[in-house]
Chain A
Amino acid sequence: MIEAYLLHLLILICIYAILSMSLTLLTGYTGMLNLGHAAFFAIGAYASVLLVMAGFPFWLGFLAAGGVAALFGVLLSIPSLRLRGDFLAIATLAFGEIIRSIMLNWTELTRGPLGIPGIPKPELFGIVFDSMLTYFVLTIVVVLATYVVLKYLLDGKFGIALKAIRENELIAESLGKDVKMLKMQAFAISALFAGFAGSLFAHYITFIDPSSFTLSETVLVLLMVVLGGLGSLVGSIAGAIILILLPEPLRFIGLPSSMVGQLRQIIYAGLLIVLIIKRPKGLFGEQWFGGIVSDSS
């Protein structure tokens, strides 16, 4: 039975690996902090669910999840054309929260707080992915595909251009890079894969509601990206593994019920602080030269 639990964790790791790879493209490579990333995750989830439950096939729902999320990614890229890093971060935070507000209040579309139960398992090529093992196979395939695609993009000219933007936007522009287009593409691709992750998530848990897509999820993915090392795809996957597994051993420490919830959170937060202070560059991080470490000018 413990294998089932490990499989569950592995499936979650895969889903979050896709999410953190998608975020590292935006944050690690292009240097744009996105505090509203959970919104793309959510949009993908809801898009996929609404389509599939209306009778469309899973592959369509899956692709639409990425597509609709990508559209919103393009939308969010607009502020990035004007705003500097930390201000952009705030704009993304606001965006994420507005999306969540809509999810909660537009009950005609999303059923709001009641959520959408009874989401069917994916069906592809006649196979229904309703066991943990088959679902794991599905997610790992998507993870590998994501890794291959992103590695190809990021190791090539696209990746170099993005890093140039991260280091110094003015210089990048003066060297002939179409910065606006690149930013838009970065947001779109990042959102695309986050949307795919959302679809996989929704069809796995079989119930979604706004409570699964809060700022906490964005923070979790950001932690994965940072702890794994900014600008590293392998690091993002490592980050996903570490952060999904991190709270689990805490379940084995017996604590009185009146304290267990708070104590676990305290230990978790303490571990985070220690980890971030001891390894601020993450495990596989790159050395940055630009960024917003120093002053504002």
Chain B
Amino acid sequence: MKNTKILIFTALLSVVLLSGCSQIQNDEIEIGVVTPLTGNGATLGKPMVEGMELAISEINSQGGINGKQLKLHIEDGKLEGQATTNATQFILNVHNPKAMVTLYHVDAEVMSPLTKQEKIPLLHASFARSILPKDPYAFKINFDAVDGCKQLVEYAKENNKYRKLGALMSRVAYNEYCLQGAKEVESSIEEYWYVFGNTDFKTLLLKAKEDGVDALLTVGIDFEYIEMYKQMAELGYDIDLFCATASECINPGLESKNYPSFQGTVSVDFVHPREMDKSAFAQKYYAAYPNSKNAVVTYAGIGYDAITILKDAFTECGVADQECVQSALESYKNEKRDSVIGTLGFEDRVLKLDYDIYEFNENGWQLK
């Protein structure tokens, strides 16, 4: 019995050691990504990884960067602090990534101290800026919940889209930030919190209605939005949803369901949801990943663009010169206009995205 245990232990250890030794290959540029691939967070994580893969296979088929092929190392962070830390430690120490990419805020918080030590860029698609002051190598590549929700509520207030505003939010970081931004414009917001994963909103909607709320602010994922809209329609409450971002809120799969409660939705986004779905990039993405036809294409675009941004920096500097890569990223301006999500470059390491307000009516999303 004792011998078996020692055997198993040695076997595991040797696998870990031996496999690690064989990984160093000088003719590849390695990039690491840690994001949820299972569980509730995977709805956005998977498209982002797929977008990255798409970009990488295109670049590689055209000869790579300065003759070197790109290699992506993917790990499942499960939206859990520990799993993400382990995955990050693994990629950083067993492989030799020149950049790391991640999606959710919690994952970025856990990864940033580690990537900072290695002085490699961390491109994170989280909704908040709080990592940037602490980590000079961190770059934010997604919607900004504080700014975006502020803009959204500002528009709604100026255009009298609500009498009384509420927030129907899951207890997650991106909602906390969205609420922060909203409160800069509207100080009195009724808060209706729920546990992430919950899909029964009937009683909270009733509560909102009884409180006189006629608009609810939220940031969610597809399985939440579909239920909110469905239950609002079934209960017949006259409440509008203010949500961020539009392409996540009523994505193409949901839009085809034509719920009456879609009407009156006000949203903010940096891409036009309908145009995004019909774009050349989307067709390319759907062709490569036929099971993703209802995915949130914007996130595939974010992943794709992350690689494009890195490619430009690596092409200019080579991979060895970390300082050059850092300043190339900081001064990235998307001059080639080859960005899928329509960025205008980094400003203070935040991706400059053009936010627009959208309203949903009988003809779908309308730009305001």
Contact = CB atoms under 8 A, between A and B. Distances in A.
Interface in B1-26: 1-2, 4-5, 8-9, 12-13, 15-17, 19-21
B81 A261 contact: no
A211 B106 contact: yes
Interface string A1-35: 11111101100100000000000000000000000
Contacts of B188: none
Given A6-B16, A118-B134, A245-B13, A262 B38 contact: yes
Contacts of B79: 211
Contacts of B20: 2, 5
A2 B109 contact: no
Interface in A260-293: 260-262, 264-265, 283-284
Interface stretch (B45-53, B231-239, B275-283, B354-362): B45-53
A118 to B, nearest CB: 7
Interface in A229-249: 238, 241-242, 245-246, 248-249
A198 B96 CA distance: 31
Contacts of A205: 81-82, 85, 110
Interface string B85-106: 1110110111010000000011
Contacts of A115: 81, 106, 109, 173
Given A205-B81, A211-B106, A113 B113 contact: no
Dominant secondary structure of chain A at its interface with chain B: helix
Contacts of B80: 211-212, 214, 216
Contacts of A6: 16-17
Contacts of B106: 113, 115, 209, 211
A207 interface: yes
A209 B81 contact: yes
A258 interface: yes
A212 B84 CA distance: 10
B195 A104 contact: yes
A134 interface: no
| Range, interface on chain A | 35 or more
Contact of B171 (A4, A104, A118): A104
A1 B289 CA distance: 35
Contacts of A284: 1
A105 interface: yes
Given A1-B94, A248-B90, A242 B9 contact: yes
Contact of A257 (B13, B21, B50, B82): B50
Given A2-B20, A104-B171, A207-B109, A261 B89 contact: no
A260 B74 contact: yes
Contacts of A2: 17, 20-21, 93-94
Contacts of B195: 101, 104
Contacts, number: 130
Interface residues of B, number: 57
B16 A245 contact: yes
A246 B110 CA distance: 22
Interface string A195-215: 000000000011111011010
Contacts of B4: 283
B42 interface: yes
Given A113-B172, A115-B109, A212-B82, A258 B289 contact: yes
Interface string A85-121: 0000000000000000100110100001111011000
Contacts of B37: 257, 260-262
A217 interface: yes
A159 to B, nearest CB: 22
Contacts of B38: 261-262, 265
A251 interface: yes
Interface in B255-273: none
A252 interface: yes
A238 B110 contact: no
Contacts of B171: 104-105, 112-113
Given A1-B94, A117-B134, A212-B82, A261 B42 contact: yes
Given A1-B94, A261-B36, A261-B42, 5 more contacts: A5-B94, A6-B16, A112-B171, A257-B74, A283-B1
Going nearest first, the 4 A-B pairs with the smallest beta carbon separation are A261-B37, A5-B93, A212-B81, A261-B38
30 contacts: A1-B96, A2-B94, A5-B89, A9-B86, A104-B171, A107-B176, A112-B176, A113-B173, A113-B176, A114-B176, A118-B134, A207-B113, A211-B106, A214-B80, A216-B80, A245-B9, A245-B16, A248-B16, A248-B90, A249-B12, A251-B75, A251-B90, A251-B94, A257-B49, A257-B53, A257-B74, A258-B50, A261-B37, A261-B42, A284-B1
